[in-house]
Amino acid sequence: MIGLIICFLLMLLLHIFTPFWWWIMIVPFVYSLLKAKSGWEGFRIGMFSAGLLWLIMSVYAYLTGSKTIAARISQMFQLEIPWLTIIVTVLVAAIAAGISGMAGYSIKTLLRR
């Protein structure tokens, strides 16, 4: 739980101050490298922290003026329903962060002899 919160807050800060999307891969990777107790824990922490962060932020954007753009992007992907873009956003974050979390732990297993 702590790990999830740390990752969440760290990514939030980095996202606010920089335009890079890949913090959702770096943060869980580094966190798991240092702290995770298993690959699945790394995966879970990444998946939930990044998924939750991108979920909250995209829902917030959706409700505060981004509905039109979400509708157009959903048409672009032939999804037709505007809020499905939120689901895609969460999926992108969850998959990318989950996998890098898992990878971070696997490196940890190499360093710990």
**Cα dihedral across residues 61, 72, 19, 90: positive or negative:** positive
Tokens of 49: 């922290």
Q: What angle separates helix 23-35 from helix 84-111, to the nearest 10 degrees?
A: 40
Question: Do 90 and 58 form a contact (C-beta atoms < 8 A)?
Answer: yes
**Under the criterion CB under 8 A, does residue 20 sit at the interface with another protein?**
yes
Taking the complex as a whole, the smallest distance from the CB of residue 6 to another protein amounts, in Å, to 18
**Under the criterion CB under 8 A, does residue 100 sit at the interface with another protein?**
yes
The H-assigned helical ranges of 18-83 are 23-35, 39-63, 67-76
**Under the criterion CB under 8 A, does residue 72 sit at the interface with another protein?**
yes
- Comparing CB distances to another protein, the nearer of 5 and 60 is 60
23-42 residues near another protein, rule: CB under 8 A = 24-25, 29, 39
**Under the criterion CB under 8 A, does residue 99 sit at the interface with another protein?**
yes
Q: How far is 30 from 80, CA to CA, in rounded Å? A: 37
Site of interaction with another protein (CB under 8 A): 15-16, 19-22, 24-25, 29, 39, 54, 57-58, 60-62, 64-66, 68-70, 72-78, 85, 88-89, 92-93, 95-96, 99-100, 102-103, 106-107, 109-110
